[in-house]
Amino acid sequence: MAHAALLHSALPSTSSAASRRRGRHHRAPSRAPRRRLPRLMASSTAQQAPAPAPQGLKEGIAGLYDESSGVWESIWGDHMHHGFYDSGEAASMADHRRAQIRMIEEALAFADVPDDPEKKPKTIVDVGCGIGGSSRYLAKKYGAQCKGITLSPVQAERGNALAAAQGLSDQVSLQVADALEQPFHDGQFDLVWSMESGEHMPDKRKFVSELARVAAPGGTIIIVTWCHRNLEPSETSLKPDEVSLLKRICDAYYLPDWCSPSDYVSIAKSLSLEGIKTADWSENVAPFWPAVIKSALTWKGITSLLTSGWKTIRGAMVMPLMIQGYKKGLIKFTVITCRKPGAA
Ligand SMILES: C[S@@+](CC[C@H](N)C(=O)[O-])C[C@H]1O[C@@H](n2cnc3c(N)ncnc32)[C@H](O)[C@@H]1O
């Protein structure tokens, strides 16, 4: 949610291989640790009923993206997600678009999505598609059909216009729909892609179960999302100062309760998904928010923000809290991948 940023919000796989060797990620253990899930900021778990969605959440999300997507696109382009950098890398502004593309490639490599013409995905759904940056990228990369869904009518219209301008209208189509009630048949997609939309979902279990429902047997599910840290065995909730920091971020970016990476793993296990893997990429996104803040403080950034609207400005004001959350080890930029059982 890069924009997430402004407001909420291909690099080669050698880097993935290198980072795998460095042990950046791990397979989920076969049994989830047993502990009670915290009431605050961990709503959507297999074991616990989700807190009700805040009133007007969907309208708020749609309004935020309707209002801010144009500003984001004019400064940052069509990808509304974090960039992926080598840990400790000092990044210049010129690197950021490349880093956003690299984020897509790293997620695909992490999930072992095949490039082989026989096995590569032919049908893709981009859940929480923004203006379709990933949809178009993936459709082009794999020569696939890609459907995208977003809550924002402005994003769907803009994404379809960009697809038409790039000659991709017959491959890419975006529409307004809710990720928790997707307008698709069961088992339709070889690749189910959710790049920085999970944090907006008020019911994480329903979210993952919808991703699983629309995946084809053997299909790959990729979720890249904001989580809070895993709790220690001795903890039943986050600390009060952590809860209060997340609350301020939630208010500005129209986010419901957060959950932890372990919560996602528990949900995926409870849905009998296979090959569950997760990794913490927080260090790899560290240069991103400082760069977003820097771009917001340019003349173009300031004038764009001032003409955009209150939701966008409020989102921009909260950006330093994201940096704080990462530095405290509270916010974890997480990738979770798995497969639906069945023939590949
Ligand atoms: C930060 S943007 C990410 C956009 C895109 N994935 C990208 O990487 O460029 C979050 C997106 O999630 C979408 N979203 C949030 N909640 C949703 C829901 N319940 N159903 C469908 N889309 C949702 C928003 O409309 C927005 O397009």
State the pLDDT at residue 18.
Answer: 33
Let me know if residue 344 belongs to a domain: no
Let me know if residue 95 belongs to a domain: yes
- Tell whether the model's pLDDT for residue 137 goes beyond 90: yes
State the pLDDT at residue 125.
Answer: 98
CA dist list (Å): 219 to 123, 136, 297: 10, 19, 42
3 Cα nearest atom in ligand 1: 1
Let me know if residue 32 belongs to a domain: no
135: CA distance to ligand 1 center in Å? 12
Query: 193 lies in which domain range?
Result: 3-26+41-339
> Which residue would you say has higher pLDDT here, 246 or 6?
246
The mean per-residue pLDDT over the stretch 16-21 comes to: 34
pLDDT of 165-176, one tens digit each?
999 999 999 999
Q: CATH code at 222?
A: 3.40.50.150
152: CA distance to ligand 1 center in Å? 8
| Nearest protein Cα to ligand 1, atom 9 | 80
73: CA distance to ligand 1 center in Å? 15
Let me know if residue 35 belongs to a domain: no
> Which residue would you say has higher pLDDT here, 338 or 313?
338
208: CA distance to ligand 1 center in Å? 15
Q: What percent of the chain has pLDDT over 90?
A: 65
pLDDT of 181-212, one tens digit each?
999 999 999 999 999 999 999 999 999 999 99
What's the chain's average pLDDT?
Answer: 84
| Nearest protein Cα to ligand 1, atom 12 | 128
pLDDT band at 38 (very low <50, low <70, confident <90, very high): very low
80: CA distance to ligand 1 center in Å? 9
- Tell whether the model's pLDDT for residue 218 goes beyond 90: yes
| Nearest protein Cα to ligand 1, atom 27 | 130
- The residue with tokens 């959950």 is 259
pLDDT band at 318 (very low <50, low <70, confident <90, very high): confident
Pocket of ligand 1 (CB under 6 A): 1-4, 8-9, 61, 65, 79-81, 128-130, 133-134, 149-152, 155, 178-180, 195-197, 200-201
State the pLDDT at residue 344.
Answer: 61
3-state secondary structure 92-111: CCCHHHHHHHHHHHHHHHHC
| Nearest protein Cα to ligand 1, atom 7 | 80
Mutation test residue for ligand 1: of 150, 157, 207, 214, the one with most atoms within 8 Å of CB: 150
pLDDT of 260-310, one tens digit each?
999 999 999 999 999 999 999 999 998 888 877 777 667 666 676 667 666
Cβ pair 85, 15 in contact under 8 A: no
- Tell whether the model's pLDDT for residue 39 goes beyond 80: no
Domain count, the chain: 1
> Which residue would you say has higher pLDDT here, 131 or 9?
131
31: CA distance to ligand 1 center in Å? 31
The alpha carbon of 255 is separated from its chain's Cα centroid by a whole number of angstroms, namely 13
Let me know if residue 236 belongs to a domain: yes
Residue 45 neighbours by CB under 8 Å, 6+ apart: 37, 204, 205, 259, 263, 266, 267
Let me know if residue 66 belongs to a domain: yes
Mutation test residue for ligand 1: of 197, 250, 318, the one with most atoms within 8 Å of CB: 197
Torsion of the alpha carbons at 266, 270, 272 and 278, rounded to the nearest 10:
-10
- Tell whether the model's pLDDT for residue 8 goes beyond 60: no
Phi first, then psi: what are they for 146, rounded to 5°? -130, 125
The mean per-residue pLDDT over the stretch 124-145 comes to: 98
State the pLDDT at residue 288.
Answer: 84
Let me know if residue 33 belongs to a domain: no
State the pLDDT at residue 306.
Answer: 64
pLDDT band at 52 (very low <50, low <70, confident <90, very high): low
| Nearest protein Cα to ligand 1, atom 16 | 200
Let me know if residue 34 belongs to a domain: no
Closest by alpha carbon to 257, among 268, 246, 265, 267? 246
- Strand pairing report for 274-280 and 331-339: antiparallel
- Tell whether the model's pLDDT for residue 44 goes beyond 60: no
130: CA distance to ligand 1 center in Å? 5
Report DSSP state, residue 169.
T
Q: Which of 33-47, 233-247, 271-285, 310-324 has the lowest mean pLDDT?
A: 33-47
> Which residue would you say has higher pLDDT here, 285 or 54?
285
198: CA distance to ligand 1 center in Å? 8
State the pLDDT at residue 278.
Answer: 98
Closest by alpha carbon to 80, among 165, 161, 15, 137? 137
pLDDT of 74-103, one tens digit each?
888 899 999 999 877 777 666 888 999 999
207: CA distance to ligand 1 center in Å? 12
